Amino acid sequence: MCSKLCVLVCAVIAVTGTLWHISDAYTGQAHVEVVDGKCVFQNRTLGHHESIQLETPCQGWFCDADSHIVSIGGCTPVALPDHCRTVNGSGTYPNCCPQVVCDETAQHTE
């Protein structure tokens, strides 16, 4: 009994962590032209159910040709406390999103 419960608890924690990370990004959708069963968006062609991660713009795109929709994921704007700053990310989405870095000593002296 305990082993089944432990597995269930671990699964819930893993799913919650994944959903928490996904919720950190903004999402949007664009209605697109479909040519030969593929989405055409911003001069790029994506196959049905194909996803790509871009560096510029720092976004991820997913094509649903049946619905004529490209779903767009991007970095979430962040309000920074006084002792924090952002540093540029590098690579493709989501690694290109700015990262928040905080000065721990300033935080503990407030």
3-state secondary structure 30-69: EECEEECCEEEECCEEEECCCEEECCCCCEEEEEEHHHCE
For 22, other C-beta atoms within 10 Å of its C-beta total 11
94 — pLDDT class (breaks 50, 70, 90):
very high
CA-CA distances (angstroms) from residue 90 to 17, 55, 96?
A: 23, 8, 4
State pLDDT tens for residues 33-83: 999 999 999 999 999 999 999 999 999 999 999 999 999 999 988 888 889
| Confidence at residue 107, expressed as pLDDT on a 0 to 100 scale | 52
11 — pLDDT class (breaks 50, 70, 90):
very low
| Confidence at residue 2, expressed as pLDDT on a 0 to 100 scale | 53
Q: Where are the domains of the chain?
A: 2-109
Percent of the chain residues topping a pLDDT of 70 = 72
| Confidence at residue 18, expressed as pLDDT on a 0 to 100 scale | 33
